[in-house]
């Protein structure tokens, strides 16, 4: 297994090109199942999760072509997907268990073929993560759903029909699944208390290019007028706001200065507000955002994760690393997932002072973090350890790098190009 070695203490300087968003690319790929024409996605990131979903789509019978890179051999790949001859509507356990987002094939398969069998994803390191909201809402569209032998068996022999749906909790995945299904349902569907993440807006815009009729894009009420069929489209994946936020924190924690090419203010409002309060200057440039400390000091700031436009849970661990190196205390409250403090014991091994009380963590900033051998438990936790390692004195060795590879494209190359002393040590 690969490891990453970091020798900390170097300020990062330079430019980082932000890749296409993993969390936008995954639902966009699932959307190819809604049509027999070709859906072409560009600016696709090169990540393990994308490969996992591609394998699932191939298993369903999708004809898939990944076209060469356009930049440095890695980024901005183009993926052509044609779901003309679907041979299976079953998403098996061995693929779904690798990545929960596989459940996003449920809505499209059910809407177009009237049936789907999708393995229940199971829990993961950050919590139980049920799919009840997806299933209850699909039932309101007329689906018959049974759970047997660890699988969701969904049927809609007479097709789906429009309905009024109010989600009891804001869910990114449930909103995406229902949005896709509603596009091919008969009549009008209103999705209320929908999630508003930019990745959902990206999906909705692509669906509109495919011929869907959607109103309220970007709001918490999506109104979908079902159509008979959808067609092909070309779509470029939106830049990854979580990757951008992570590198903004990398600039701040190392007391460096980075320009994040492709990063967008409108996707990072709550993050920029927290960084500004912490003493970090974020300014717009022609091509993205420039990030650096204002006067050399970092101040502790309280943070609470919330659905968009609130502060993203996917930046909580990275923010904890930043606050661990700030002057003063910060209370970090996680309101989305019940068990998303797995990075705390590892950050503590690097000298962070963090006490967890239920959904909140009190972080008392330290003058110095120190390098240590640490272990990643999930994707965002692992990158928080990279950030802490960049700021720490001495050497940090990060194990279980495969978590990082699920969501960060060429992280060590991007950081090394800006002056970080970081290298991947290839495992057996």
Q: How many residues bind ligand UD1 (CB under 6 A)?
A: 22
Q: Which is nearer to ligand UD1, 6 or 272 (CB)?
A: 272
Q: Is 97 in the site for ligand UD1 (CB under 6 A)?
A: no
DSSP state of 1: -
DSSP 358-384: TTEEEEE--S--B--EEE--SHHHHHH
Please state, in angstroms and rounded to a whole number, the distance separating the CA atoms of residues 425 and 5. 7
| Lookup: tokens for 19 | 């890749």
To ligand UD1, the closest distance from the beta carbon of 50 in angstroms equals: 11
Q: Is 124 a catalytic residue?
A: yes
Please state, in angstroms and rounded to a whole number, the distance separating the CA atoms of residues 315 and 331. 15
Nearest to 387 by CA among 402, 406, 408: 408
Which of 6, 8, 10, 23 binds ligand UD1 (CB under 6 A)? It is: 23
Beta bridge partners, 221, equal: 192
Q: Residue with the closest Cβ to ligand UD1?
A: 173
Please state, in angstroms and rounded to a whole number, the distance separating the CA atoms of residues 378 and 136. 28
User: Within 13 A of 351's CA, how many CA atoms are on the CB side?
Assistant: 18
Q: Which is nearer to ligand UD1, 173 or 239 (CB)?
A: 173
Q: Is 243 in the site for ligand UD1 (CB under 6 A)?
A: no
* Sheet strands side by side (includes 13-17): 13-17, 257-261, 288-293, 280-284
Q: Which is nearer to ligand UD1, 74 or 129 (CB)?
A: 129
Which of 35, 75, 102, 313 binds ligand UD1 (CB under 6 A)? It is: 313
To ligand UD1, the closest distance from the beta carbon of 287 in angstroms equals: 26
Q: Is 277 in the site for ligand UD1 (CB under 6 A)?
A: no
Which of 6, 18, 26, 106 binds ligand UD1 (CB under 6 A)? It is: 26
User: Within 13 A of 181's CA, how many CA atoms are on the CB side?
Assistant: 38
Tell me, residue by residue from 164 to 203, as one string, x for binding to ligand UD1 by CB under 6 A and - for no binding: -----x-xxxx--------------------x---x----
Q: Which is nearer to ligand UD1, 17 or 380 (CB)?
A: 380
To ligand UD1, the closest distance from the beta carbon of 336 in angstroms equals: 5
Which of 28, 91, 237, 336 binds ligand UD1 (CB under 6 A)? It is: 336
Please state, in angstroms and rounded to a whole number, the distance separating the CA atoms of residues 329 and 276. 16
> Measuring CA to CA, how many Å separate 266 from each of 155, 218, 243, 269, 309?
39, 12, 15, 6, 9
To ligand UD1, the closest distance from the beta carbon of 285 in angstroms equals: 27
Q: Which is nearer to ligand UD1, 337 or 341 (CB)?
A: 337
Which of 259, 314, 346, 412 binds ligand UD1 (CB under 6 A)? It is: 314
Sign of the alpha-carbon torsion through 360, 361, 365, 368? negative
124, 183, 206, 418: which is the annotated catalytic residue? 124
DSSP 80-101: EEE-SS----EE-HHHHTT-GG
Q: Which of residues 123-152 bind ligand UD1 (CB under 6 A)?
A: 127, 129-134
Site for ligand UD1, rule CB under 6 A: 23, 26, 100-101, 127, 129-134, 169, 171-174, 195, 199, 313-314, 336-337
Which residues are designated catalytic? 124
């Amino acid at each position: 297994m690969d490891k990453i070695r970091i020798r900390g203490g170097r300020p990062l300087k330079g430019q980082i090109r932000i890749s296409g968003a993993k969390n936008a690319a995954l639902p966009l790929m699932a959307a190819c199942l809604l049509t027999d024409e070709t859906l072409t996605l560009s600016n696709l990131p090169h990540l393990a999760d994308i490969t996992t979903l591609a394998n699932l789509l191939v298993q369903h019978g999708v004809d898939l072509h990944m076209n060469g890179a356009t930049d440095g051999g890695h980024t901005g790949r183009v993926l052509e997907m044609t779901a003309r001859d679907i041979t299976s509507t079953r998403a098996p356990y061995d693929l779904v268990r690798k990545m929960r987002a596989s459940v996003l094939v449920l809505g499209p398969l059910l809407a177009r073929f009237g049936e789907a069998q999708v393995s229940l994803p199971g829990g993961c390191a950050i919590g139980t993560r049920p799919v009840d909201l997806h299933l209850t809402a699909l039932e309101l569209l007329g689906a018959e759903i049974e759970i047997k032998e660890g699988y969701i068996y969904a049927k809609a022999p007479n097709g789906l029909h429009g309905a009024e749906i109010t989600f009891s909790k804001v869910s990114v995945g449930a909103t995406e699944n229902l949005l896709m299904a509603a596009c091919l349902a008969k009549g009008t569907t209103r999705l209320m208390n929908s999630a508003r993440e930019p990745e959902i807006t990206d999906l909705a815009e692509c669906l509109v290019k495919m011929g869907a009729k959607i109103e309220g894009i970007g709001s918490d009420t999506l109104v979908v007028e079902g159509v008979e069929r959808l067609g092909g489209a070309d779509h470029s994946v939106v830049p990854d706001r979580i990757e951008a936020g992570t590198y903004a924190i990398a600039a701040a924690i190392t007391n460096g200065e980075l320009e994040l090419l492709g990063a967008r203010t409108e996707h990072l409002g709550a993050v920029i507000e927290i960084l500004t309060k912490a003493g970090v200057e974020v300014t717009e440039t022609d091509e993205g955002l420039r990030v650096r400390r204002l006067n050399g000091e970092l101040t502790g700031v309280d943070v609470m994760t919330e659905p968009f436009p609130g502060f993203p849970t996917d930046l909580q661990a990275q923010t904890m690393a930043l606050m661990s190196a700030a002057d003063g205390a910060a209370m970090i409250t996680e309101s989305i997932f019940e068990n998303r403090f797995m990075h705390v014991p590892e950050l503590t091994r690097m000298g962070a002072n963090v006490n967890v009380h239920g959904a909140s963590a009190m972080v008392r900033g330290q003058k110095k973090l120190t390098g240590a051998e640490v272990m990643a438990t999930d994707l965002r936790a692992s990158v928080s350890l990279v950030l802490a390692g960049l700021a720490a004195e001495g050497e940090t060795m990060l194990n279980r790098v495969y978590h990082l590879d699920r969501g960060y494209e060429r992280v060590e190359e991007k950081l090394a190009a800006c002056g970080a002393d970081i290298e991947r040590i290839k495992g057996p």
